[in-house]
Structure formats: structure tokens, C-alpha cells
Amino acid sequence: MQLYLSPHLDDAVQSCGGTIARAVREGEQAVVLTIFAGDTHGRKLAPRAARYHAKCGLADFWTRRWEDVEACGLLGAGMLHLDFPEILYRYDPHGRPRCSTRADLFSPLRADDHVVVTEVTMALEQWVRRLRPTAVYGPLGLGGHVDHVAADVAFRRAMANLGAEAPRALLYEDMPYAATEDTSGTSRNRSQATTPVIQRLTEQDWTCKLRAVAAYRSQLASIWQGADWRAALRAYAERVTPDGGLAERVYA
Ligand SMILES: [Zn+2]
């Protein structure tokens, strides 16, 4: 069984949905575990979160969860949603929203984020012990979004804490950042200690991925800022293959 860690409801499928489709086609079991799938835990939406919901046409939290159920179903993967709220829905210990501006989304981790990282690390260790995957894929943290960096740090810590029990760990390049931004600096830093692995995909794998990504209909316009996401993903998939074809790049 392979486990794919997703910071938000959409990241693993957008970033390595082709790899998931290929694994399932080859007879592997795959589970996508979304870390920040929780809601505000009874608090009302902070102003920035309310604006985001209005922009995406979201009436409730369940819409995004159902989109993920559909996406994972299209890939033939199982799915798990952990109850950690993403940064938009988090409050600091003084009751202030963690995120008020766009810059907050990409700020360095703060003390209260590190508390979240510790809790996520423990949850990931428990899920790995329970599911016993042969490989776990986690985000590289490209783009510097707080939740992606937190997920990356928690993943690395959980693997280190598991020691001899740890399965094979691989890091995927986060979308949309890997496809749309100049992340070469971050990528180079991150990849210094790791080896790139090119996951070659068939057209069938690719079609399967695109169908799954399309399920995140409330999110795509916002994430890709109106750009043609199919074209952007395809350009990336063609760029990372040294000799033609389609692929996703991960690091071992
Ligand atoms: Zn994300």
C-alpha cells in the first residue's frame, strides 16, 4: 500500500495524481491522506476565509471534502481526511485569525504553527503504524505556503521518529508552484540531499489524473488564478522527462 500525504484537499492529486493512477493501474493500493481537512471547529469564518468561500462559491466545508472523495474515487484510491484546520480556518491562542493577508499564507512558521506541526507529526506516525504502507509520498513544500511547509516538516519528523519502522519516503513537487513559479532555488536547496525520481506516465495515467483534478471544481480558478491548468500541468509533465513523454518528478 502506498500513502500520499496532501496538505490541502487537492494537493496530492494535483501534484502526483499521475503517480497514484499508475500505482493503481499496476495493482497497488493507494490512500490519499489530507492533513488540513478540518473546519473552524465551531468558530465563525474569519474575514479572509469568508472572502475565499465567496470567491469559490463555497456554501460549507463539505463541498471541498466531497470534491476530494470524487477525485480519489476517480483515481481508484482510498482517502482519509484529518481534522486539522488549514491556515485560513486557524486561530492563534489569543483568538485572532492566523491569516489576515495573502502574505500570511507564505510567512515563516510561527510558534503556534510549530504546535500544529507537533500534533500533525504524531498523527502521521499513528497513521503510518496503522496502515503500514510500503512507501509514503509527502510534499516538498515548494512555494512556501505555511501549510505545505508544516506538512513537509511534520512528514520528515514523523519518518525520523519511526526509525527502522519508517517506510520508503518520497517527496513530490507541489502544484501549482512547481508548474507556475520559479521555484528552482527552493527546489535546488531541497533536492541537494535527495535524488530525483522520474515517474513516467502513460496517456491513460494522464487522462485519469486530469479527470481527478477536474473534480476540485470550487478550487481550480483560485489555485491557478484563471490560467489553463490542463496546459500548465501538461507543460510541467513534458518538461520533467529527459527524453519525451509525460512524467511527475519526486525525490527519494
Ligand atoms: Zn495546498
pLDDT the model gives residue 141: 92
Lowest mean pLDDT among 16-25, 52-61, 110-119, 122-131: 52-61
Residues in the chain: 252
Largest CA distance in the chain: 54
Can you state the percent helix, strand and coil of the chain, rounding each to 5?
Answer: 50, 15, 35
Tell me which residue range forms the domain holding 200.
Answer: 2-251
Q: How many domains does the chain have?
A: 1
Cα of 167 vs centre of ligand 1, distance in Å, is: 24
Q: What is the pTM of this model?
A: 0.95
Tens of pLDDT, residues 128-151 = 999 999 999 999 999 999 999 999
Cα of 20 vs centre of ligand 1, distance in Å, is: 17
Cα of 177 vs centre of ligand 1, distance in Å, is: 10
Cα of 36 vs centre of ligand 1, distance in Å, is: 9
Confidence of residue 194 (pLDDT cuts 50, 70, 90): confident
In this structure, what CATH number is given to the domain that contains residue 104? 3.40.50.10320
How far is residue 245 CA from its own chain's centroid?
24
Contact (CB, 8 A) for 15 and 174: yes
Contact (CB, 8 A) for 142 and 183: yes
Task: Identify residues whose C-beta is under 5 A from ligand 1, the ion.
Answer: 7-8, 11
Tens of pLDDT, residues 14-46 = 999 999 999 999 999 999 999 999 999 889 999
Closest C-alpha to 74, from 21, 19, 15: 21
Confidence of residue 188 (pLDDT cuts 50, 70, 90): very low
Cα of 198 vs centre of ligand 1, distance in Å, is: 22
- Indicate whether 190 pLDDT > 70: no
Closest C-alpha to 237, from 144, 159, 173: 173
Cα of 192 vs centre of ligand 1, distance in Å, is: 23
Between residues 189 and 122, the one the model is more confident about: 122
d(CA 166, CA 156): 10
Q: What percentage of the chain reaches a pLDDT higher than 90?
A: 86
Angle at 11 between CA 79 and CA 55, to 5 degrees: 110
Cα of 80 vs centre of ligand 1, distance in Å, is: 16
pLDDT the model gives residue 48: 93
Average pLDDT over the chain, rounded to whole? 93
